Chain A
Amino acid sequence: MSLLTLEGVTASYGASQALFGMDLTLSEGEAVAMMGRNGMGKTTTVRAICRMLPAQGRLVFDGHDLTRLASHRTAQLGIGLVPEGRRCFRDLTVEENLVVAARRGHWDLSRVAGLFPRLAERRGQRASTLSGGEQQMLAIGRALMTNPRLLILDEATEGLAPLIRAEIWEAIARLKTETGLSLLVIDKSLKELKGVADRAVLVARGQVAWAGAMDALDAETSARHVGV
Protein backbone atom coordinates (compact mmCIF):
# COMPACT_ATOMS: atom_id res chain seq x y z
CA MET A 1 0.00 0.00 0.00
CA SER A 2 1.38 3.38 -0.90
CA LEU A 3 2.21 5.84 1.85
CA LEU A 4 1.73 8.91 -0.31
CA THR A 5 -0.55 9.19 -3.33
CA LEU A 6 -1.04 12.18 -5.60
CA GLU A 7 -3.52 11.86 -8.44
CA GLY A 8 -4.35 14.62 -10.87
CA VAL A 9 -3.15 17.33 -8.54
CA THR A 10 -3.47 20.87 -9.80
CA ALA A 11 -2.27 24.04 -8.10
CA SER A 12 -1.93 27.69 -9.00
CA TYR A 13 -0.20 30.84 -7.83
CA GLY A 14 -3.05 33.26 -8.38
CA ALA A 15 -3.87 33.21 -12.10
CA SER A 16 -0.75 31.27 -12.96
CA GLN A 17 -1.26 27.51 -12.91
CA ALA A 18 1.82 25.56 -11.82
CA LEU A 19 0.63 21.96 -11.57
CA PHE A 20 -1.40 20.38 -14.36
CA GLY A 21 -2.40 16.98 -12.98
CA MET A 22 0.59 15.76 -11.00
CA ASP A 23 0.66 12.02 -10.20
CA LEU A 24 2.96 10.42 -7.67
CA THR A 25 3.00 7.36 -5.46
CA LEU A 26 5.51 6.53 -2.76
CA SER A 27 5.55 3.39 -0.63
CA GLU A 28 6.73 2.91 2.93
CA GLY A 29 10.53 2.66 3.03
CA GLU A 30 10.89 3.76 -0.57
CA ALA A 31 13.12 6.59 -1.80
CA VAL A 32 11.87 8.54 -4.79
CA ALA A 33 13.90 11.13 -6.65
CA MET A 34 12.00 14.03 -8.17
CA MET A 35 13.91 15.82 -10.89
CA GLY A 36 13.19 18.51 -13.42
CA ARG A 37 14.31 21.87 -14.72
CA ASN A 38 13.68 25.03 -12.72
CA GLY A 39 10.09 26.22 -12.64
CA MET A 40 8.61 22.89 -13.70
CA GLY A 41 6.62 22.29 -10.51
CA LYS A 42 8.83 20.29 -8.15
CA THR A 43 8.71 22.71 -5.22
CA THR A 44 5.05 23.45 -5.97
CA THR A 45 4.36 19.72 -5.61
CA VAL A 46 6.11 19.78 -2.23
CA ARG A 47 4.14 22.84 -1.19
CA ALA A 48 0.91 21.10 -2.22
CA ILE A 49 1.81 17.98 -0.21
CA CYS A 50 2.67 20.06 2.86
CA ARG A 51 -0.48 22.17 2.42
CA MET A 52 1.47 25.36 2.05
CA LEU A 53 -0.41 25.97 -1.16
CA PRO A 54 -4.06 25.14 -1.89
CA ALA A 55 -4.28 22.26 -4.36
CA GLN A 56 -7.03 20.28 -6.00
CA GLY A 57 -7.06 16.61 -6.88
CA ARG A 58 -6.31 13.57 -4.75
CA LEU A 59 -3.62 13.95 -2.10
CA VAL A 60 -3.58 11.10 0.38
CA PHE A 61 -0.98 10.32 3.04
CA ASP A 62 -1.37 7.12 5.02
CA GLY A 63 -5.10 7.08 4.32
CA HIS A 64 -5.58 10.74 5.32
CA ASP A 65 -6.95 13.22 2.81
CA LEU A 66 -4.36 15.99 2.88
CA THR A 67 -6.58 18.53 1.12
CA ARG A 68 -8.65 18.87 4.30
CA LEU A 69 -5.72 19.49 6.62
CA ALA A 70 -3.96 22.59 7.89
CA SER A 71 -0.27 22.79 7.11
CA HIS A 72 0.93 21.95 10.63
CA ARG A 73 -1.25 18.83 10.67
CA THR A 74 0.68 17.30 7.75
CA ALA A 75 3.84 17.42 9.85
CA GLN A 76 1.96 15.93 12.78
CA LEU A 77 0.82 13.09 10.51
CA GLY A 78 4.43 12.30 9.67
CA ILE A 79 5.51 14.39 6.69
CA GLY A 80 8.85 16.01 7.46
CA LEU A 81 10.07 18.78 5.21
CA VAL A 82 13.56 20.13 4.63
CA PRO A 83 12.56 23.27 2.75
CA GLU A 84 14.44 24.87 -0.08
CA GLY A 85 16.67 27.61 1.34
CA ARG A 86 16.97 25.85 4.74
CA ARG A 87 14.86 28.37 6.64
CA CYS A 88 16.33 27.68 10.06
CA PHE A 89 15.08 29.73 12.98
CA ARG A 90 18.02 32.11 12.89
CA ASP A 91 17.74 33.56 16.40
CA LEU A 92 17.43 30.18 18.09
CA THR A 93 20.44 28.08 18.98
CA VAL A 94 21.12 24.80 17.23
CA GLU A 95 19.68 22.88 20.15
CA GLU A 96 16.61 25.13 20.35
CA ASN A 97 16.01 24.69 16.61
CA LEU A 98 15.92 20.95 17.19
CA VAL A 99 13.98 20.96 20.45
CA VAL A 100 11.25 23.24 19.13
CA ALA A 101 10.36 20.66 16.47
CA ALA A 102 10.71 17.58 18.69
CA ARG A 103 8.02 14.93 18.65
CA ARG A 104 8.17 11.59 20.39
CA GLY A 105 9.86 8.78 18.45
CA HIS A 106 13.13 7.35 17.18
CA TRP A 107 14.85 10.66 16.49
CA ASP A 108 16.11 12.71 19.41
CA LEU A 109 18.99 15.10 20.06
CA SER A 110 21.58 12.36 20.47
CA ARG A 111 20.58 10.54 17.28
CA VAL A 112 20.65 13.77 15.26
CA ALA A 113 24.06 14.50 16.77
CA GLY A 114 25.15 11.03 15.69
CA LEU A 115 24.10 11.76 12.12
CA PHE A 116 25.63 15.25 12.09
CA PRO A 117 28.42 15.51 14.70
CA ARG A 118 29.04 19.12 13.61
CA LEU A 119 25.66 20.08 15.07
CA ALA A 120 26.59 18.61 18.44
CA GLU A 121 29.74 20.74 18.46
CA ARG A 122 27.67 23.85 17.81
CA ARG A 123 24.62 23.10 19.93
CA GLY A 124 24.75 26.41 21.82
CA GLN A 125 25.45 28.51 18.75
CA ARG A 126 22.76 30.59 17.06
CA ALA A 127 21.61 29.22 13.71
CA SER A 128 22.41 32.54 12.04
CA THR A 129 26.10 32.04 12.84
CA LEU A 130 26.33 28.64 11.13
CA SER A 131 27.75 28.08 7.67
CA GLY A 132 25.41 27.21 4.81
CA GLY A 133 26.26 23.52 5.06
CA GLU A 134 25.72 23.45 8.80
CA GLN A 135 22.39 25.23 8.38
CA GLN A 136 21.42 22.56 5.88
CA MET A 137 22.35 19.86 8.36
CA LEU A 138 20.32 21.67 10.98
CA ALA A 139 17.33 21.85 8.63
CA ILE A 140 17.55 18.09 8.06
CA GLY A 141 18.02 17.44 11.78
CA ARG A 142 15.05 19.65 12.60
CA ALA A 143 12.84 17.77 10.16
CA LEU A 144 14.03 14.45 11.63
CA MET A 145 13.15 15.66 15.15
CA THR A 146 9.49 15.67 14.04
CA ASN A 147 9.96 11.90 13.65
CA PRO A 148 8.49 11.75 10.18
CA ARG A 149 7.46 8.68 8.24
CA LEU A 150 8.22 10.51 5.03
CA LEU A 151 11.07 12.99 4.71
CA ILE A 152 10.94 15.44 1.84
CA LEU A 153 14.24 17.08 0.94
CA ASP A 154 13.85 20.02 -1.40
CA GLU A 155 17.19 20.87 -3.04
CA ALA A 156 19.06 19.90 0.12
CA THR A 157 22.52 20.22 -1.40
CA GLU A 158 22.00 23.27 -3.59
CA GLY A 159 24.77 25.84 -3.44
CA LEU A 160 26.98 23.90 -1.05
CA ALA A 161 30.69 23.09 -1.26
CA PRO A 162 31.52 19.63 -2.68
CA LEU A 163 32.77 18.28 0.66
CA ILE A 164 29.64 19.35 2.50
CA ARG A 165 27.48 18.00 -0.32
CA ALA A 166 29.20 14.64 0.05
CA GLU A 167 28.59 14.69 3.79
CA ILE A 168 24.91 15.43 3.31
CA TRP A 169 24.46 12.79 0.63
CA GLU A 170 26.13 10.28 2.92
CA ALA A 171 23.68 11.20 5.69
CA ILE A 172 20.72 10.85 3.31
CA ALA A 173 22.00 7.40 2.27
CA ARG A 174 22.29 6.42 5.93
CA LEU A 175 18.71 7.52 6.53
CA LYS A 176 17.63 5.17 3.76
CA THR A 177 19.71 2.16 4.69
CA GLU A 178 19.84 2.39 8.47
CA THR A 179 16.35 3.65 9.33
CA GLY A 180 14.28 2.69 6.31
CA LEU A 181 12.74 6.16 6.25
CA SER A 182 10.63 6.97 3.18
CA LEU A 183 12.27 9.73 1.18
CA LEU A 184 11.18 12.14 -1.51
CA VAL A 185 14.36 13.82 -2.72
CA ILE A 186 14.17 16.80 -5.05
CA ASP A 187 17.55 17.42 -6.63
CA LYS A 188 19.40 17.61 -9.92
CA SER A 189 22.46 15.53 -8.97
CA LEU A 190 21.82 12.40 -10.99
CA LYS A 191 24.95 10.61 -9.81
CA GLU A 192 24.19 11.04 -6.12
CA LEU A 193 20.49 10.33 -6.55
CA LYS A 194 21.34 7.02 -8.21
CA GLY A 195 23.02 5.99 -4.97
CA VAL A 196 19.96 6.79 -2.87
CA ALA A 197 16.70 6.56 -4.82
CA ASP A 198 14.76 3.49 -5.86
CA ARG A 199 12.64 5.30 -8.40
CA ALA A 200 12.75 8.55 -10.31
CA VAL A 201 10.01 10.94 -11.36
CA LEU A 202 10.88 13.59 -13.90
CA VAL A 203 8.66 16.65 -13.87
CA ALA A 204 8.03 18.95 -16.79
CA ARG A 205 5.40 21.67 -17.15
CA GLY A 206 3.61 20.77 -13.94
CA GLN A 207 3.16 17.07 -14.59
CA VAL A 208 5.10 13.83 -14.72
CA ALA A 209 7.12 13.55 -17.91
CA TRP A 210 8.83 10.27 -17.09
CA ALA A 211 8.67 7.81 -14.20
CA GLY A 212 10.46 4.56 -13.61
CA ALA A 213 13.17 2.73 -11.74
CA MET A 214 16.24 4.83 -10.97
CA ASP A 215 18.46 2.34 -12.80
CA ALA A 216 16.31 2.70 -15.91
CA LEU A 217 16.89 6.44 -16.10
CA ASP A 218 19.44 6.98 -18.85
CA ALA A 219 21.53 10.03 -19.55
CA GLU A 220 19.52 11.01 -22.62
CA THR A 221 16.17 11.06 -20.76
CA SER A 222 17.76 12.91 -17.90
CA ALA A 223 19.33 15.47 -20.22
CA ARG A 224 16.04 16.00 -22.03
CA HIS A 225 13.94 16.65 -18.92
CA VAL A 226 16.42 17.79 -16.30
CA GLY A 227 19.16 19.32 -18.38
CA VAL A 228 21.94 17.31 -16.69
Chain B
Amino acid sequence: MSREGYVNAALVAALIGVPLWAHLAGEPFTITLATRAVIFALAAVGLNLALGLGGMVSFGHAVFFGLGGYAMGILAHHAQNFLPLYDGLFLIEGTKSMPVIWLVAITVSALAALLIGLLSLRTSGVYFIMITLAFGQMFYYFTISWSAYGGEDGLSIWVRNGFPGLNTLDPIQFYALCFTLLCAALWLTHRIARSPFGLMLNATRQVPHRVETVGLDGQRAKLVVFVISGAITGLAGALFADLNRFVSPTMFSWHMSGEIMIFVILGGVARLFGPVAGAVLFVAMEHVLGDLSDYWHIYLGALLLGIVLFARGGVVGLLAGRAKSHD
Protein backbone atom coordinates (compact mmCIF):
# COMPACT_ATOMS: atom_id res chain seq x y z
CA MET B 1 0.00 0.00 0.00
CA SER B 2 1.26 3.49 -0.85
CA ARG B 3 1.76 6.17 1.79
CA GLU B 4 -1.34 7.90 0.52
CA GLY B 5 -3.19 4.62 1.00
CA TYR B 6 -2.16 4.56 4.67
CA VAL B 7 -3.25 8.19 5.11
CA ASN B 8 -6.62 7.37 3.55
CA ALA B 9 -7.00 4.25 5.71
CA ALA B 10 -6.19 6.29 8.83
CA LEU B 11 -8.87 8.82 7.87
CA VAL B 12 -11.46 6.09 7.38
CA ALA B 13 -10.46 4.48 10.68
CA ALA B 14 -10.86 7.84 12.44
CA LEU B 15 -14.24 8.44 10.81
CA ILE B 16 -15.41 5.04 12.04
CA GLY B 17 -13.62 4.97 15.39
CA VAL B 18 -14.30 8.44 16.78
CA PRO B 19 -18.12 8.42 16.33
CA LEU B 20 -18.23 4.85 17.63
CA TRP B 21 -16.26 5.87 20.71
CA ALA B 22 -18.51 8.91 21.15
CA HIS B 23 -21.58 6.70 20.91
CA LEU B 24 -20.26 4.31 23.54
CA ALA B 25 -19.13 7.19 25.75
CA GLY B 26 -22.48 8.96 25.46
CA GLU B 27 -21.13 12.00 23.58
CA PRO B 28 -23.80 12.75 20.96
CA PHE B 29 -22.35 16.20 20.25
CA THR B 30 -19.13 14.63 18.97
CA ILE B 31 -21.20 12.42 16.66
CA THR B 32 -23.02 15.50 15.36
CA LEU B 33 -19.67 17.19 14.73
CA ALA B 34 -18.49 14.11 12.84
CA THR B 35 -21.73 14.08 10.85
CA ARG B 36 -21.17 17.72 9.93
CA ALA B 37 -17.64 16.89 8.80
CA VAL B 38 -18.81 13.92 6.74
CA ILE B 39 -21.54 15.96 5.02
CA PHE B 40 -19.08 18.76 4.23
CA ALA B 41 -16.70 16.11 2.94
CA LEU B 42 -19.42 14.77 0.65
CA ALA B 43 -20.05 18.27 -0.74
CA ALA B 44 -16.31 18.70 -1.29
CA VAL B 45 -15.98 15.28 -2.95
CA GLY B 46 -18.51 16.63 -5.43
CA LEU B 47 -16.49 19.79 -6.04
CA ASN B 48 -13.26 17.79 -6.24
CA LEU B 49 -14.63 16.00 -9.30
CA ALA B 50 -15.09 19.31 -11.11
CA LEU B 51 -12.01 21.02 -9.69
CA GLY B 52 -9.51 18.21 -9.34
CA LEU B 53 -10.44 15.99 -12.23
CA GLY B 54 -11.99 18.49 -14.61
CA GLY B 55 -9.89 21.55 -13.74
CA MET B 56 -13.02 23.70 -13.35
CA VAL B 57 -12.65 26.26 -10.58
CA SER B 58 -16.32 26.48 -9.67
CA PHE B 59 -17.06 29.24 -7.20
CA GLY B 60 -20.76 28.46 -7.30
CA HIS B 61 -21.09 24.99 -5.88
CA ALA B 62 -23.23 26.46 -3.10
CA VAL B 63 -26.00 26.52 -5.73
CA PHE B 64 -26.15 22.73 -5.68
CA PHE B 65 -25.66 22.55 -1.91
CA GLY B 66 -28.54 25.00 -1.49
CA LEU B 67 -30.77 23.29 -4.04
CA GLY B 68 -30.29 19.98 -2.24
CA GLY B 69 -31.12 21.70 1.04
CA TYR B 70 -34.20 23.43 -0.32
CA ALA B 71 -35.38 20.21 -2.02
CA MET B 72 -35.39 18.65 1.43
CA GLY B 73 -36.84 21.75 3.11
CA ILE B 74 -39.70 22.23 0.66
CA LEU B 75 -40.71 18.56 0.49
CA ALA B 76 -40.57 18.15 4.26
CA HIS B 77 -42.33 21.49 4.86
CA HIS B 78 -45.27 20.40 2.72
CA ALA B 79 -45.36 16.97 4.33
CA GLN B 80 -45.35 18.30 7.90
CA ASN B 81 -48.06 20.87 7.12
CA PHE B 82 -50.14 18.43 5.05
CA LEU B 83 -50.15 20.91 2.19
CA PRO B 84 -49.87 19.57 -1.34
CA LEU B 85 -46.89 20.81 -3.32
CA TYR B 86 -49.02 20.99 -6.44
CA ASP B 87 -52.69 20.18 -6.96
CA GLY B 88 -53.45 21.24 -10.51
CA LEU B 89 -53.79 18.57 -13.18
CA PHE B 90 -52.35 16.06 -10.80
CA LEU B 91 -51.37 15.98 -7.15
CA ILE B 92 -47.84 16.23 -5.80
CA GLU B 93 -47.44 15.94 -2.07
CA GLY B 94 -44.52 16.56 0.20
CA THR B 95 -42.58 13.71 1.75
CA LYS B 96 -40.60 12.86 4.85
CA SER B 97 -38.85 9.96 3.17
CA MET B 98 -35.10 10.49 2.85
CA PRO B 99 -34.60 8.28 -0.23
CA VAL B 100 -37.27 10.24 -2.13
CA ILE B 101 -35.82 13.55 -0.95
CA TRP B 102 -32.31 12.47 -1.98
CA LEU B 103 -33.59 11.48 -5.41
CA VAL B 104 -35.26 14.87 -5.84
CA ALA B 105 -32.18 16.70 -4.50
CA ILE B 106 -29.87 14.83 -6.87
CA THR B 107 -32.16 15.36 -9.86
CA VAL B 108 -32.72 19.07 -9.24
CA SER B 109 -29.01 19.70 -8.59
CA ALA B 110 -27.99 17.72 -11.67
CA LEU B 111 -30.43 19.66 -13.86
CA ALA B 112 -29.18 22.95 -12.45
CA ALA B 113 -25.58 21.83 -13.03
CA LEU B 114 -26.47 20.93 -16.60
CA LEU B 115 -27.94 24.37 -17.24
CA ILE B 116 -25.15 26.25 -15.45
CA GLY B 117 -22.51 24.06 -17.09
CA LEU B 118 -23.93 24.59 -20.57
CA LEU B 119 -23.67 28.34 -20.11
CA SER B 120 -20.52 28.67 -18.03
CA LEU B 121 -18.35 26.07 -19.78
CA ARG B 122 -18.26 28.34 -22.83
CA THR B 123 -15.79 30.33 -20.77
CA SER B 124 -12.71 29.42 -18.80
CA GLY B 125 -10.35 30.82 -16.17
CA VAL B 126 -11.51 33.87 -14.28
CA TYR B 127 -14.66 34.21 -16.40
CA PHE B 128 -15.75 30.70 -15.41
CA ILE B 129 -15.18 31.57 -11.76
CA MET B 130 -17.21 34.77 -12.11
CA ILE B 131 -20.12 33.12 -13.94
CA THR B 132 -20.44 30.32 -11.40
CA LEU B 133 -20.23 32.89 -8.60
CA ALA B 134 -22.95 34.95 -10.30
CA PHE B 135 -25.26 31.92 -10.49
CA GLY B 136 -24.73 31.32 -6.78
CA GLN B 137 -25.64 34.89 -5.93
CA MET B 138 -28.72 34.73 -8.19
CA PHE B 139 -30.06 31.77 -6.24
CA TYR B 140 -29.07 33.39 -2.96
CA TYR B 141 -31.05 36.55 -3.62
CA PHE B 142 -33.94 34.58 -5.09
CA THR B 143 -34.35 32.52 -1.91
CA ILE B 144 -34.06 35.64 0.25
CA SER B 145 -37.12 37.02 -1.51
CA TRP B 146 -38.95 33.68 -1.66
CA SER B 147 -41.38 34.41 1.15
CA ALA B 148 -43.43 31.22 0.59
CA TYR B 149 -40.50 29.27 2.01
CA GLY B 150 -39.36 31.60 4.76
CA GLY B 151 -37.44 34.15 2.71
CA GLU B 152 -34.46 35.47 4.61
CA ASP B 153 -35.48 33.61 7.79
CA GLY B 154 -35.28 30.22 6.14
CA LEU B 155 -37.39 27.19 6.80
CA SER B 156 -37.48 24.95 9.87
CA ILE B 157 -38.34 21.27 9.80
CA TRP B 158 -39.66 19.91 13.07
CA VAL B 159 -38.64 16.28 12.85
CA ARG B 160 -35.76 14.76 10.91
CA ASN B 161 -36.87 12.84 7.83
CA GLY B 162 -37.05 9.08 7.92
CA PHE B 163 -35.14 6.24 6.33
CA PRO B 164 -36.66 2.73 6.14
CA GLY B 165 -35.38 0.52 8.96
CA LEU B 166 -33.43 3.27 10.74
CA ASN B 167 -34.11 5.71 13.53
CA THR B 168 -32.61 8.82 11.97
CA LEU B 169 -33.08 10.79 15.20
CA ASP B 170 -30.41 8.60 16.76
CA PRO B 171 -27.16 10.50 16.01
CA ILE B 172 -25.07 7.39 15.35
CA GLN B 173 -27.61 5.96 12.91
CA PHE B 174 -27.87 9.21 10.99
CA TYR B 175 -24.07 9.42 11.00
CA ALA B 176 -23.84 5.88 9.59
CA LEU B 177 -26.19 6.88 6.80
CA CYS B 178 -24.13 9.96 5.90
CA PHE B 179 -20.85 8.05 6.15
CA THR B 180 -22.18 5.32 3.84
CA LEU B 181 -23.15 7.94 1.27
CA LEU B 182 -19.70 9.53 1.55
CA CYS B 183 -18.08 6.14 0.93
CA ALA B 184 -20.33 5.61 -2.10
CA ALA B 185 -19.33 9.03 -3.50
CA LEU B 186 -15.64 8.26 -2.90
CA TRP B 187 -16.02 4.92 -4.65
CA LEU B 188 -17.73 6.64 -7.60
CA THR B 189 -14.95 9.25 -7.78
CA HIS B 190 -12.32 6.51 -7.69
CA ARG B 191 -14.08 4.63 -10.50
CA ILE B 192 -14.43 7.74 -12.64
CA ALA B 193 -10.78 8.74 -12.13
CA ARG B 194 -9.59 5.26 -13.20
CA SER B 195 -11.93 4.93 -16.17
CA PRO B 196 -11.20 5.94 -19.79
CA PHE B 197 -13.57 8.84 -19.13
CA GLY B 198 -11.34 9.93 -16.24
CA LEU B 199 -8.28 9.74 -18.47
CA MET B 200 -10.06 11.87 -21.01
CA LEU B 201 -10.89 14.45 -18.35
CA ASN B 202 -7.31 14.42 -17.16
CA ALA B 203 -6.07 14.99 -20.70
CA THR B 204 -8.66 17.72 -21.25
CA ARG B 205 -7.53 19.50 -18.10
CA GLN B 206 -3.92 19.46 -19.28
CA VAL B 207 -4.27 20.47 -22.94
CA PRO B 208 -7.92 21.52 -23.39
CA HIS B 209 -7.91 22.05 -27.15
CA ARG B 210 -5.52 19.26 -28.13
CA VAL B 211 -7.77 16.46 -26.94
CA GLU B 212 -10.01 17.29 -29.85
CA THR B 213 -7.27 16.34 -32.29
CA VAL B 214 -7.47 12.79 -31.00
CA GLY B 215 -11.24 12.73 -31.42
CA LEU B 216 -12.28 13.48 -27.85
CA ASP B 217 -15.01 15.95 -27.02
CA GLY B 218 -13.42 17.56 -23.99
CA GLN B 219 -16.21 20.06 -23.47
CA ARG B 220 -18.84 17.35 -23.24
CA ALA B 221 -16.70 15.39 -20.79
CA LYS B 222 -16.36 18.48 -18.62
CA LEU B 223 -20.10 19.06 -18.72
CA VAL B 224 -20.83 15.45 -17.72
CA VAL B 225 -18.46 15.59 -14.75
CA PHE B 226 -19.81 19.01 -13.75
CA VAL B 227 -23.32 17.50 -13.62
CA ILE B 228 -22.14 14.53 -11.52
CA SER B 229 -20.25 16.95 -9.30
CA GLY B 230 -23.35 19.13 -8.81
CA ALA B 231 -25.52 16.10 -8.04
CA ILE B 232 -23.16 14.88 -5.30
CA THR B 233 -22.98 18.35 -3.74
CA GLY B 234 -26.78 18.55 -3.95
CA LEU B 235 -27.09 15.31 -2.01
CA ALA B 236 -24.78 16.75 0.64
CA GLY B 237 -27.07 19.79 0.83
CA ALA B 238 -30.10 17.59 1.53
CA LEU B 239 -28.21 15.79 4.31
CA PHE B 240 -26.97 19.08 5.78
CA ALA B 241 -30.53 20.39 5.88
CA ASP B 242 -31.63 17.20 7.61
CA LEU B 243 -28.79 17.46 10.12
CA ASN B 244 -29.82 20.98 11.10
CA ARG B 245 -33.52 20.51 10.35
CA PHE B 246 -33.27 23.97 8.88
CA VAL B 247 -32.59 25.53 5.50
CA SER B 248 -31.83 29.15 4.72
CA PRO B 249 -30.47 31.26 1.87
CA THR B 250 -26.98 31.12 3.44
CA MET B 251 -26.68 27.64 1.94
CA PHE B 252 -26.51 29.44 -1.43
CA SER B 253 -24.10 32.18 -0.36
CA TRP B 254 -20.64 32.63 -1.83
CA HIS B 255 -19.22 31.97 1.64
CA MET B 256 -20.55 28.43 1.34
CA SER B 257 -18.96 28.03 -2.11
CA GLY B 258 -15.72 29.33 -0.65
CA GLU B 259 -15.88 26.93 2.28
CA ILE B 260 -16.44 23.92 0.00
CA MET B 261 -13.44 25.04 -2.04
CA ILE B 262 -11.37 25.45 1.14
CA PHE B 263 -12.15 21.83 2.12
CA VAL B 264 -10.74 20.67 -1.22
CA ILE B 265 -7.64 22.89 -1.20
CA LEU B 266 -6.90 22.21 2.46
CA GLY B 267 -7.10 18.45 1.99
CA GLY B 268 -5.54 18.26 -1.46
CA VAL B 269 -6.95 19.01 -4.90
CA ALA B 270 -7.48 15.87 -7.03
CA ARG B 271 -6.59 13.61 -4.09
CA LEU B 272 -9.33 11.05 -3.49
CA PHE B 273 -9.44 11.68 0.26
CA GLY B 274 -8.32 15.32 0.05
CA PRO B 275 -11.83 16.73 0.51
CA VAL B 276 -12.43 14.38 3.46
CA ALA B 277 -9.24 15.48 5.20
CA GLY B 278 -10.04 19.13 4.46
CA ALA B 279 -13.57 18.94 5.82
CA VAL B 280 -12.50 17.07 8.96
CA LEU B 281 -9.74 19.58 9.62
CA PHE B 282 -12.09 22.51 9.01
CA VAL B 283 -14.75 21.22 11.39
CA ALA B 284 -12.12 20.37 14.02
CA MET B 285 -10.61 23.86 13.77
CA GLU B 286 -14.06 25.45 13.83
CA HIS B 287 -14.84 23.58 17.03
CA VAL B 288 -11.51 23.82 18.86
CA LEU B 289 -10.38 27.29 17.76
CA GLY B 290 -13.94 28.63 17.67
CA ASP B 291 -14.12 28.02 21.42
CA LEU B 292 -10.96 30.08 21.91
CA SER B 293 -11.79 33.00 19.69
CA ASP B 294 -14.53 34.39 17.48
CA TYR B 295 -11.81 35.23 15.01
CA TRP B 296 -10.70 31.65 14.45
CA HIS B 297 -10.86 32.20 10.68
CA ILE B 298 -7.54 34.07 11.02
CA TYR B 299 -5.88 30.78 11.96
CA LEU B 300 -7.71 29.00 9.17
CA GLY B 301 -6.46 31.66 6.73
CA ALA B 302 -2.90 31.24 7.96
CA LEU B 303 -3.14 27.47 7.57
CA LEU B 304 -4.58 27.81 4.08
CA LEU B 305 -1.78 30.20 3.14
CA GLY B 306 0.78 27.74 4.43
CA ILE B 307 -0.82 24.88 2.51
CA VAL B 308 -0.96 26.84 -0.75
CA LEU B 309 2.62 28.09 -0.40
CA PHE B 310 4.38 25.05 0.99
CA ALA B 311 2.18 21.99 0.49
CA ARG B 312 0.27 22.26 -2.74
CA GLY B 313 -0.89 18.69 -2.37
CA GLY B 314 -2.82 19.76 0.72
CA VAL B 315 -2.75 17.90 4.00
CA VAL B 316 -2.99 14.53 2.26
CA GLY B 317 -0.17 15.48 -0.09
CA LEU B 318 1.93 16.63 2.84
CA LEU B 319 1.44 13.34 4.69
CA ALA B 320 1.63 11.11 1.62
CA GLY B 321 4.80 12.78 0.43
CA ARG B 322 4.57 11.92 -3.25
CA ALA B 323 3.28 14.90 -5.17
CA LYS B 324 0.66 14.66 -7.84
CA SER B 325 1.74 16.64 -10.85
CA HIS B 326 -1.38 18.74 -10.85
CA ASP B 327 -1.48 19.57 -7.15
Contact = CB atoms under 8 A, between A and B. Distances in A.
Quick one: which of B200, B207, B215, B325 has the most chain A CB within 10 A?
A: B215
A99 B214 contact: no
B210 interface: yes
A146 interface: yes
A87 B214 contact: no
- Interface of B, secondary structure class, is helix
A71 B213 CA distance: 7
B185 interface: no
A96 B203 CA distance: 9
B209 A100 contact: no
A228 interface: no
B196 interface: yes
Contacts of A80: 214
A73 B213 CA distance: 9
B317 to A, nearest CB: 15
Contacts of A126: 325
A145 B199 CA distance: 15
A223 interface: no
A145 B206 CA distance: 19
Interface residues of A, number: 28
A96 B199 contact: yes
A40 to B, nearest CB: 22
B135 to A, nearest CB: 26
A52 B263 CA distance: 37
Interface residues on B, range: 10 to 19
Contact of A72 (B203, B207, B217, B326): B217
Nearest to A46: B213
Contact of A103 (B200, B206, B210, B215): B215
A140 B196 CA distance: 20
Contact of A89 (B207, B215, B217): B207
A87 B207 contact: yes
B27 interface: no
Contact of B215 (A52, A76, A83, A128): A76
Contacts of A73: 215
Contacts of B209: 52, 71
A100 B203 contact: yes
Given A92-B199, A92-B202, A101 B210 contact: no
Interface of B: 196, 199-200, 202-203, 206-207, 209-218, 325-326
Interface of A: 50, 52, 70-73, 75-76, 80-81, 83, 87, 89-92, 96-97, 99-101, 103, 126, 128, 142-143, 145-146
6 contacts: A52-B212, A71-B212, A72-B212, A75-B216, A89-B207, A146-B215
